[in-house]
Structure 1
Amino acid sequence: MRVGVVTRGKYGERLIETIKERSDFEVVSIDLPQFLPDFIEDPEEFLDDLDLDPEFFSSDLIITYSLHPDITPEIAVRAGKGGAQAVIVPGGIARAGSVPELQKIADEYGIYIEVDEICCTLEKCGVEAVDAFAEKFGQPAIDVEVEEGRITDVHVARGSPCGSTWQVAKEIVGMSLEDAPPRAGLLCQMYPCRAVRGGEGGIHTSGDLHKYAMERALGLDTELAIAEQSKPIKIKGKDRS
């Protein structure tokens, strides 16, 4: 499977590194300027002027860190025209465009679009390319080995696309079973993740997801509550078959 990543400045670079290191997916990328105008009157013309490789948009799955409400829908249009199965948009709806606009694009091209505030909420959705990706990357899932009340080894079954889950796994070894879940959540937030900080959702949801993954690995009966703004927006296009 080929994964296409739209980078903008530092955003998207860590995802590319994680995909290369932790999977056998082919990954290709295109770069957008780091600094963009607040308003882009003609996104199609703007992207044309960047002379982007049209083959990029035929990737099975496209993850776009365009982070701009004018540019992101045009990326989705080009993905639809190129035959991509799905577009994942990290960064939240404010930087993705409007839901009605994205729904119109999804229906026209029969493409799946998902807007995530943070990438570690990603789960399988029934779309082949997304499900293949979410088998390895997305909402954290781990297995642990325990001896004498302490964590002796951690295996990452599915990790956050930024790579934080593997860092948590490495640093949690040696922790007591009591301390491991809250420590996993804290270690995730200490990782240089670029999720939003300073309010509900964002990096705090990432921490909750890693705490929950550790609780599940230890067989604890627990529930996960995701902040409203961190819940994915899943936009399914009309079936064109």
Structure 2
Amino acid sequence: MKFPANDILIVVKIGIVSDGQYGERAFEQIRRRFPTEWILLPFPSSPVVDDIDLTIPPCDLYISYIRHPDIAMELVKTGVPILLGVNLGPGFINQAREINPAVIGPETMCSLLPNTKFWQINEYAKVFGRPVFYLILDKERVVWCHPLRGSPCGSTDAAADELNGQQLDMEAMNRFALSICHNCRAPRFGKTCDKEKAGIIHLVELLAALKGVNRELWEKCSQLVDQSTCRVISGS
């Protein structure tokens, strides 16, 4: 089995750019695998900001948790590849890409795959992005659930750890999905990113890992999960 998170990585210096509301957990996670800078910028009270002086450390990749579009656009103008941890909407992304084609606004930070046109983002996404699980089972009991790739917020690690020692049944999958939603930093029912999407992605990938280990149990569990709503079907 291929272990994506253990691939030899090209060194990428990453800057976590925040106005103080989001990004702390991502910084703590990402700094364990990459050289990482915490870059704190002010959050302007005015909806329109002129004459922005953006002085920040040089990095190979910026992950933006900036909520103000004018400040975020100034970051875009650096020309450095950028991941939008706070997605400011399709209009912003379209405008940003006219200035800097290396701007990616993933559906969620746990949906990213290492298949973009930009090597800096791909190196990052080998470790952080759409989850990949390594499962060891004893019949229907989880001996070890290990994330090979997961969310930068840490929700993947927390939910996987809670599965260890549990029977992989409807109750366990429900707890797993709820754990993702609880630990995810995205808003509920967000316009561009939300907890429910994160939960769906994690359940789908957990089932994918199960399919390669115990197909009979995978068929049973797949029937219990409505993958369109991240809901475990009660009474099945």
Normalised by the length of structure 2, the TM-score is: 0.78
Match among 159, 162, 168 for residue 159 of structure 2 = 168
1:98 partner SS: helix
The answer to whether the 8 A contact 1:181-1:214 is kept is no
Q: Deviation string for 1:141-169 (max 9, x for gaps)? A: 11111003110101111010101111011
Cross-structure match for 1:36 = 44
CA-based RMSD: 2.4
Distance of aligned partners of 1:140 and 1:116 in 2 relative to their CA distance in 1, 3 Å threshold: same
Q: Tell me, which stretches of 5 or more residues in structure 1 are unaligned? A: 228-241
* Equivalent-residue separation in structure 2 for 1:199 and 1:67 (angstroms): 14
Looking at both structures, which has the greater relative contact order when contacts are Cα pairs under 8 Å and sequence separation is at least 6?
A: 1
Cross-structure match for 1:15 = 26
1:93 partner SS: coil
Match among 98, 108, 113 for residue 92 of structure 2 = 98
Cross-structure match for 1:4 = 15
Distance of aligned partners of 1:210 and 1:102 in 2 relative to their CA distance in 1, 3 Å threshold: same
How far did 1:210 drift? 1.3
1:122 partner SS: coil
* AA partner of residue 7 (structure 1): S
Alignment length (residue pairs): 205
The answer to whether the 8 A contact 2:187-2:194 is kept is yes
1:161 partner SS: coil
Normalised by the length of structure 1, the TM-score is: 0.76
Provide the identity percentage.
Answer: 29
* AA partner of residue 61 (structure 1): L
Distance of aligned partners of 1:135 and 1:100 in 2 relative to their CA distance in 1, 3 Å threshold: closer
Cross-structure match for 1:218 = 210
* Equivalent-residue separation in structure 1 for 2:229 and 2:87 (angstroms): 14
The answer to whether the 8 A contact 1:91-1:117 is kept is no
Distance of aligned partners of 1:156 and 1:217 in 2 relative to their CA distance in 1, 3 Å threshold: same
* Equivalent-residue separation in structure 2 for 1:15 and 1:131 (angstroms): 17
Q: Deviation string for 1:9-35 (max 9, x for gaps)? A: 1311111100123x1x100121012x4
2:83 partner SS: strand
